[in-house]
Structure formats: structure tokens, C-alpha cells
Amino acid sequence: MSEELPFVGQHAAWQEWLAAIDSGRMHHGWLLAGGKGLGKRGFARVAAAELVRLPGAPRPDPDTHPDIHILEHLPANDDEAKKKAEGKPYQTKRNISVDQVREMIRRLATKPTLGDRRAIIIDPADDMEKSAVNALLKALEEPPTGTYFLLLAHQPGRLLPTIRSRCRVLRFAALNEQELDEVLRRDAPHSDAETRRAAVAASHGSPGIAISFVEHDLGPIHRLMMQILREGDADYHLRGSLSEEMGARPARDRQLATLELARTALANELAGASPARQMRLIEAHGTLTRLSTQAPTYNFDAGLLIMEIGGLLASAAMPRETAR
């Protein structure tokens, strides 16, 4: 167990996972809970590999091991599936379907291939269809011997209480500044010190957001977002600048990264805000969260989307903007 881990931070969660494996009383259901970008995806894969590794053997590749099954969003259609196969960006279906869960359950009728343990990763579990949740619940109630479930959840409250009650919760914490800088030095080695400092400050402890900040050059966009939150935008001037900075035809990944950055900016403003402003911040954050879940699958007009983001930020500005 001395191999280098492919994630930074989350040491408490990793030690809890190792202790559970060594205890001989491993719980069959695990809920990996925490905000987007905290590293749950990478953690789940290496945790599953650690679970199924054979004594004395190196940790296997989770993407090719026959006893690690990963349920995630499928490509939206055949054309998007071709893009995925070619390593290109692709659009996904909105939910993890009941058919995916049923196919996984059929596999559970057989024993693990290489050892006596098998891992099922659902990424993310809070994006399952209602019928998929019901199908999974049956498997969680009576899991086959040696089968362990890792459910990733950005918003655990969206899961049924009956699902949550059958899982042991593994919580993911925000990274500190030093850990975030380490992530950026490793995963964005081209970034300079000033950009890294700005990314760390904007990310609210999320390595995923910090990396997106650097990769998509979101510094100017973030500065405009913060200006709107501080000053409002009664004449729509700042929203116009935000749209220009985003560009006429931004890549889908850049749009998604901007949505996440806006959500984080709102969350950062909660501390110290008045109760009235907190309500506005929470309302705007909730709308952005809904947009974030729809954006990967809906073909939003980029110009309208960035104006919507700017409007939501303006609605939570201090002092409050009066324009609609």
C-alpha cells in the first residue's frame, strides 16, 4: 500500500477507507459525499482498486479491472459515442438510467472474476433516474457476498433516505491553500505563481475549480463576477463585459467551468452577509445549481447563459441592484 496516490488531500477519508478494508468488517455501501471538484471521482477509482487488489499484487487499473464496474453518464447519442471513442469532448445523457443499473445487477449474479471482492462505482448517484434508484435499493438491501458499492454524491440530500441509511458516509473536505497549490503545480505545470494564487483564492477549496480556472483562463471572468457581486449592474454594462470575455462561441467545458465558478463565488459571499442578502445568495446559488445540472445535456445559447449568470450575480449584489 505504498504506491503514490493520484489525489491530493482527503487523507482522513483515505485512512478511514484503508482501516475499513483491514478490519474484516467492511460495510457494503459507501456514500462519498462532498461538493463538485473535491476529488471524489479519482478517490473512488483508486479506493475500488485498493479493495479488489490481490495480496502482494500492485494496485490494478480501475478502468480495466473486471471486478470494478463504473456506472456514469453515457454519451447522449451515437454521434457523441463516436466522439468519446475518439477522445474528443462529448455530450452525455442527463441521467444514469435504470437499464444501466439493471445490467449491473445482472452481473452480480456471478462471482467476482479474479478475487473475492467486487466494487460498483456510481458516479454520481444523485443523477440516477427514479426507477434506477429503486432498482439500486434492492441490491443495497441484499448485496451479494463480496460486493461493495461506492456512491458519489455532490448533493447527498437528493438521494432517498432509504439509500443514505444503507451507506456509510465518507465525507470529502475542502483542500487548504498549500494542497491546492500542489494540485496546480502537478496538473497545470504551465501556470505561473500569480495565476495559481488567483485560482486558489477563487476555488473555495475545490481542486477541480482551481484547475478549470487555470485551464480556461477564467481570471478576467472571475474579476467581473466579483465586481458585479460588489457593485451590482444596474446598467447591464458589466454583464456585457462578461459576455465579451466569455466569447461568442465558447467551448462547452468553458461554459460549465464558468457556471461552477459563479456558484463558488456566491458561496464565498455567504460568510458575513446579512440575513437578507444570504437569502438572495442562496436563491441565486440554487438557480445556478439547476443550470449546472442541465448544461451538460441541454444545448444552451452561450450568450443567453452568460447573461443569466450575470443577472443572478447582480440579483445577489451588495448593495442590491434594483434593475431586473
Domain identity same for 233 and 147: no
Domain identity same for 20 and 162: yes
Residue 279's domain spans which residues? 216-315
| Cα–Cα nearest to 73, from 305, 302, 301, 294 | 294
Predicted confidence at residue 319, as pLDDT, reads: 65
Question: Domain end: 109, 137, 171, which one?
Answer: 171
Is the confidence at residue 322, as pLDDT, over 60?
Answer: no
9 and 1 in contact (C-beta within 8 Å)? no
Domain identity same for 99 and 224: no
In a domain, 108, yes or no: yes
In a domain, 184, yes or no: no
DSSP-derived 3-state class of residue 30:
strand
Question: Domain end: 146, 171, 196, which one?
Answer: 171
Share of the chain above pLDDT 70, in %: 96
DSSP-derived 3-state class of residue 129:
coil
Sign of the four-CA dihedral 148, 154, 155, 159: negative
Is the confidence at residue 275, as pLDDT, over 80?
Answer: yes
Choose between 175 and 8: higher pLDDT: 175
| Mean per-residue pLDDT over the chain, rounded | 90
Say how far apart CA 224 and CA 193 lie, in whole Å: 21
Q: What is the mean pLDDT of residues 2-24?
A: 84
Domain identity same for 68 and 15: yes
In a domain, 178, yes or no: no
Predicted confidence at residue 302, as pLDDT, reads: 86
Domain identity same for 25 and 125: yes
Domain identity same for 143 and 246: no
* Four-point Cα dihedral 45, 135, 294, 31, nearest 10: -40
In a domain, 134, yes or no: yes
Predicted confidence at residue 271, as pLDDT, reads: 87
**Residue 8: what are its φ and ψ, rounded to 5°?**
-110, 145
Predicted confidence at residue 321, as pLDDT, reads: 45
Is the confidence at residue 106, as pLDDT, over 50?
Answer: yes
Residue 62 sits in a domain whose CATH number is 3.40.50.300
Q: What is the mean pLDDT of residues 154-158?
A: 87
Domain identity same for 151 and 298: no
In a domain, 180, yes or no: no
CA separation, residue 324 to residues 4, 168, 262, 267 (Å)? 52, 45, 19, 22
In a domain, 183, yes or no: no
In a domain, 186, yes or no: no
| Range scoring the smallest mean pLDDT among 68-77, 283-292, 293-302 | 293-302
Give 216's DSSP letter: T
Predicted confidence at residue 324, as pLDDT, reads: 42
Domain identity same for 165 and 227: no
Banded pLDDT at 92 (limits 50, 70, 90): confident
Domain identity same for 167 and 246: no
Q: What is the mean pLDDT of residues 133-145?
A: 91
Predicted confidence at residue 162, as pLDDT, reads: 93
Sign of the four-CA dihedral 262, 264, 268, 273: positive
pLDDT tens digits, 197-236: 999 999 989 999 999 999 999 999 999 999 999 999 999 9
Please state the domain count of the chain: 2
